[in-house]
């Protein structure tokens, strides 16, 4: 059992409840963040809080607290749960309202913070690589619901995830409506060809992954690599030497198979292993909280 911070107070997880009239539940109207705690340090906490407030602003949701207040709430929730290594889920919903869509009839946002232990992909998957598929369903276009908004409306991703689960794998690569590579249901994607690392640009319609940014700006340069952000076609992914995914839960994980296609040698490549090891070293030794 854990303690949940819910609308201003700590409650036991089994007592943490929101109304059936909450628009987060009725309409997926809200936003969220998933954040890691490594060795009592909250990885990229400020970046996650900033993205959370940007998501809230994009949907015109006012959480009723400042970014600094929320930072203290998150830190306090980690402290009271004694969770030196774990996963934080931060959620704003539009709050309780009527059965109509109008978000402005919900006077007060619901805010909660959950801190739990983290469920990771199995170790073998980091050694041997992960199998994924290419989802038939495209990523929702940015002019409809911009994927950079980490909203509670994840059905586009969930339906692609169902395609993955039906195919017996855990992740699905999603293309955008132009047929270009965008991202996976809960991870960003990178490819390596002839020692050059590339990843789709923000304009491909993706979440601005915080792990993605850390890998581009810190992890890869430390190892002497620069990463290109450019439009990527599916054929390039299928003919890449290495493919890897990044995400808060996944960290850096190599991909060995995409549908019926084998990636490179069918094993996790050398550069992916280097990036994965360097990422782990940095977050476990002294995770930056900026
Ligand atoms: N894309 C999507 C759709 C996601 O939900 C996530 C987060 N799980 C990511 C990418 C990875 O982002 P981050 O590195 O910030 O966790």
For position 27, which CATH number holds? Answer: 3.30.470.10
Residue 198: per-residue pLDDT: 98
- Could you tell me if 136 and 97 lie in one domain? no
Going by alpha carbons, the residue nearest to atom 2 of ligand 1 is 186
Bridge partners (DSSP) listed for residue 115: 88
Distance of CA 111 to the CA centre of its chain: 19
pLDDT of residue 1 exceeding 90, the answer is no
Domain CATH number, residue 237:
3.20.10.10
Mean pLDDT value across residues 62-89: 97
Single out the residue in 82, 116, 150 at which a domain terminates: 116
Q: Which of 116, 132, 148 is the last residue of a domain?
A: 116
Residue 246 Cβ contacting ligand 1 at under 6 Å: yes
* Ligand 1 pocket, residue 55 CB under 6 Å: no
**For ligand 1, is residue 188 a contact (CB within 6 Å)?**
yes
Summarize pLDDT for 86-128 with one digit per residue, the tens. Answer: 999 999 999 999 999 999 999 999 999 999 998 788 999 999 9
Tell me how far apart the alpha carbons of residues 223 and 217 are, in angstroms, rounded to a whole number. 11
So what's the pLDDT on residue 118? Answer: 87
What are the two backbone dihedrals, phi and then psi, of residue 38, each rounded to the nearest 5 degrees? Answer: -120, 115
Element (H, E) at 27: helix 23-27
Domain co-membership, 182 together with 167: yes
pLDDT of residue 117: 93
Phi-psi region of 45 (alpha: psi -120 to 50; beta: other; left: phi over 0): alpha
DSSP codes joined into one string, 214-248: HIIIIIHHHTT--EEE---BHHHHHT-SEEEEEET
CA–CA separation, 87 and 287 (whole Å)? 14
What does the pLDDT read at residue 120? 83
Task: Give pLDDT tens digits for 136-178.
Answer: 999 999 999 999 999 999 999 999 999 999 999 999 999 999 9
Higher pLDDT, 1 or 128: 128
- Residue 250 CA to ligand 1 centre (angstroms): 9
Do 166 and 271 lie in one domain? The reply is yes
- To the query of whether residue 150 is one of the catalytic residues in this protein, the response is yes
Same domain, 132 and 271: yes
pLDDT of residue 16: 98
C-beta 182 within 6 A of ligand 1: no
Instruction: Kindly report, residue by residue over 236-279, the tens digit of the pLDDT.
Output: 999 999 999 999 999 999 999 999 999 999 999 999 999 999 99
Choose, from 44, 96, 150, 161, the residue flagged as catalytic: 150
User: How far, in Å, from the CA of 186 to the mean position of ligand 1?
Assistant: 5
pLDDT digits (tens, 9 = 90+) for 33-69: 999 999 999 999 999 999 999 999 999 999 999 999 9
pLDDT of residue 119: 79
Ligand 1 contact, 33 CB (< 6 A):
no
Contact assessment for residue 255 and residue 129, using Cβ atoms and an 8 Å cutoff = yes
Place of tokens 């290419």: 134
Residues 198 and 242 in one domain: yes
Instruction: Give the nearest ligand 1 atom to 211 CA.
Output: 14
Nearest CA-CA partner of 282 in 222, 198, 225, 226: 222
Q: Supply the pLDDT for residue 49.
A: 98
Pairing state between β 196-199 and 227-229: parallel
Where a domain ends, among 56, 90, 116?
Answer: 116
Tally of structural domains, the chain: 2
Do 130 and 250 fall into the same domain? Answer: yes
Question: Is the same domain home to 211 and 250?
Answer: yes
How is residue 209 written in tokens? Answer: 């992954």
Has this prediction a pTM greater than 0.85? yes
8 and 67, same domain (yes or no): yes
Q: Looking at the structure, tell me whether residues 134 and 232 fall in a common domain.
A: yes
Q: What is the pLDDT of residue 258?
A: 98
Q: Is residue 48 domain-shared with residue 150, that is, in the same domain?
A: no
Instruction: Find the helix or strand (DSSP H, E) in which 31 lies.
Output: strand 30-38
88 lines ligand 1 (CB under 6 A): no
Tell whether 107 and 135 lie within a shared domain: no
Q: Which domain holds residue 78?
A: 3-116
| Statement: residue 284 has pLDDT above 90 | yes
Ligand 1 centroid vs 98 CA: distance in angstroms? 31
Q: Are residues 136 and 277 in the same domain?
A: yes
Task: Take atom 10 of ligand 1 and give the residue whose Cα is closest.
Answer: 187
């Amino acid at each position: 059992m854990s303690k949940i911070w819910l609308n201003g107070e700590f409650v036991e997880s089994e007592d943490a409840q929101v109304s059936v009239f909450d628009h987060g539940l009725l309409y997926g109207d809200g936003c969220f963040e998933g954040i890691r705690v490594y060795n009592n340090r909250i990885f990229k906490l400020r970046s996650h809080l900033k993205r959370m407030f940007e998501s809230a602003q994009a949907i015109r949701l006012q959480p009723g607290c400042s970014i600094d207040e929320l930072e203290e709430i998150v830190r306090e929730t980690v402290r009271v749960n004694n969770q030196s290594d774990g996963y934080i889920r931060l959620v704003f919903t539009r709050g309780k309202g009527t059965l109509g869509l109008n978000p402005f009839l919900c006077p007060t946002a619901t805010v909660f913070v959950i801190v739990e232990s983290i469920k990771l992909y199995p170790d073998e998957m980091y050694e041997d690589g992960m199998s994924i598929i290419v989802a038939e369903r495209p990523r929702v276009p940015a002019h409809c619901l911009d994927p950079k908004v980490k909203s509670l409306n994840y059905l586009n991703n969930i339906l692609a995830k169902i395609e993955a689960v039906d195919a017996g794998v855990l992740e699905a690569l999603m293309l955008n409506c132009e047929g270009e590579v965008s991202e996976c249901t809960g991870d960003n994607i990178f490819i390596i060809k002839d020692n050059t690392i590339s990843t789709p640009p923000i304009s491909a319609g993706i979440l601005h992954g915080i792990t993605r940014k850390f890998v581009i700006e810190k992890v890869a340069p430390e190892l002497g690599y620069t990463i290109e952000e450019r439009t990527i076609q599916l054929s390039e992914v299928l003919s890449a030497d290495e493919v890897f995914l990044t995400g808060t839960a996944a960290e850096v994980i190599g991909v060995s198979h995409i549908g019926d296609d084998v990636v490179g040698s069918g094993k996790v490549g050398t550069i992916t292993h280097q990036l994965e090891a360097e990422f782990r070293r940095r977050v476990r030794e002294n995770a930056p909280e900026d």
